[in-house]
Amino acid sequence: MPEFAHRTRFVALVVAALGVTAATAPVAVGERPAGVVTAQQQPGPFDDSFYVPPRTLPEGEPGDVIRWRPALPALNAANADAWQVMYLSTNALGERSAVTATVLVPRGADPAKAPVVGYAPGTQGPAFKCTASKAIERGTLYDQPAVNDLISRGYAVAVTDYEGYSPETTPTYITGRSEGPALIDAVRAAQRFPQAKLSPDAKVAFQGYSQGGGAAMWAGEQQPDYAPELDLVGVAGGGVPADLNEVAAGLNGYVGFGFLAFAAVGLDAAYPELDLDSYLNDTGRQAIAEAKQQDCVVELLAKYPGKKISDYTDRDPLPTPQWQARIEENELGTRPIRVPVFQYHGTVDEIVNTPQAEALHRRYCDQGVPVTWKTYPVDHLAGIFAGNADAGRFLADRFEGKPAEPNC
């Protein structure tokens, strides 16, 4: 009964967090941006073909804009100008890819002087309808308080959708080597998009929670080699899934099994040789197929509590050498972040277990990363809100050039 009561409360909180809805209205067609390699506007704000990458990707560099259209974010329409962009990026195999994002620029601020935050949203779900940019337009993004705070501080925000969110593809969920470039290149795209009028020399930070916390840390680790031109000043990440094996162990048979199943789908999408289908039983094949069409974060929580890998497979793929090799490639903490980091976590996090996050904190400290580590006496969902104000203050201090106060 305690497990059931806890799960019921958790799902209710998620539903409440996602419960603010607003109708999306048509937006005016803007002009085609000049000077962006291959960029072209797509007509129609509701045309899902916008998310479908070109069959042959155009020439260009990571962060170059492929296409764009105006956006009307339900909860930021009055205080920010917004666009959806598709941009070039790099997938987990090091190959060229296309990713979408929402770029928001606060009204009343001088965009040429505005810092830029690459915001990595938390878990949305495997179905295309769950895409973060769609949630922004509906007003149902549960990370919205963080986005609101950043805009209110006068920062431009680039919210990545991550790789694979289109009517024809599968998200590469929880695959750090895909998420990091997707977040970095969202910032590059925002800076290169003429309508946004942002400076290419703007100070930059990465922020996110849960999946987004992991993506922010991945972007921080990869930035020195992948995007050395960015003036990165800080990284803020909470609820970070640093060690996928440890996180999986805490989800199998417990409340968050839906996240574990989605992670397997995401890794399989990133690395086709993993061949997830060959491990599934008929129940698993049906469940995965339905999830790709229907499931967002609420469904991941409500439909699969207490389920186990053995319920959906003939044999467990996770211990196999092929899967372990890819899982290890996506473990955080193998290289230092070179700017100050704010890492936070709930002490009773039942989705992304706290000890593996503490281990990442210790690894960063051992590597000389200036980490400020903070915990809150809350569960996973409440951690989104518990740490948001501190994360905002941390980034504000970095943009103002104040020295960090690490507590290693």
Per-residue tokens: 393: 């203050």
Alpha-carbon span 383 to 351, nearest angstrom: 11
The helix/strand/coil state of 296 is coil
pLDDT at 3: 43
Kindly tell me the burial class for residue 112, based on how many C-beta atoms sit within 10 Å of its own C-beta (0-12, 13-18, 19 or more). exposed
Question: Between the CA atoms of 394, 396, 401 and 407, what dihedral angle is there, to the nearest 10 degrees?
Answer: -10
Starting at the earlier edge strand, list the strands of the sheet with 341-346: 40-41, 65-70, 80-90, 96-106, 156-160, 116-120, 203-209, 231-238, 341-346, 371-376
pLDDT tens across the length of the chain (408 residues)? 334 344 444 444 444 444 433 333 333 333 333 334 456 666 455 679 999 999 999 999 999 999 999 999 999 999 999 999 999 999 999 999 999 999 999 999 999 999 999 999 999 999 999 999 999 999 999 999 999 999 999 999 999 999 999 999 999 999 999 999 999 999 999 999 999 999 999 999 999 999 999 999 999 999 999 999 999 999 999 999 999 999 999 999 999 999 999 999 999 999 999 999 999 999 999 999 999 999 999 999 999 999 999 999 999 999 999 999 999 999 999 999 999 999 999 999 999 999 999 999 999 999 999 999 999 999 999 999 999 999 999 999 999 999 999 999
Alpha-carbon span 146 to 238, nearest angstrom: 12
Q: Which residue type occupies 21?
A: T
Which element (helix H / strand E) includes 96? Answer: strand 96-106
Q: What percent helix, strand, coil does the chain show, rounded to 5?
A: 40, 15, 40
pLDDT at 349: 97
Size of the chain, expressed as the number of residues it contains: 408
Alpha-carbon span 368 to 384, nearest angstrom: 27
Alpha-carbon span 277 to 274, nearest angstrom: 9
Looking only at the bridges linking them, the beta strands covering 116-120 and 341-346 are unpaired
DSSP 329: H
pLDDT at 47: 76
Q: 228 Cβ partners below 8 Å, 6+ apart?
A: none
The helix/strand/coil state of 118 is strand
How far, in whole angstroms, is CA 121 from its chain's centroid? 4
The helix/strand/coil state of 80 is strand
Looking only at the bridges linking them, the beta strands covering 96-106 and 80-90 are antiparallel
Q: At what angle do helices 144-152 and 388-399 cross, to 10 degrees?
A: 30
Neighbours of 331 (CB within 10 A): 17
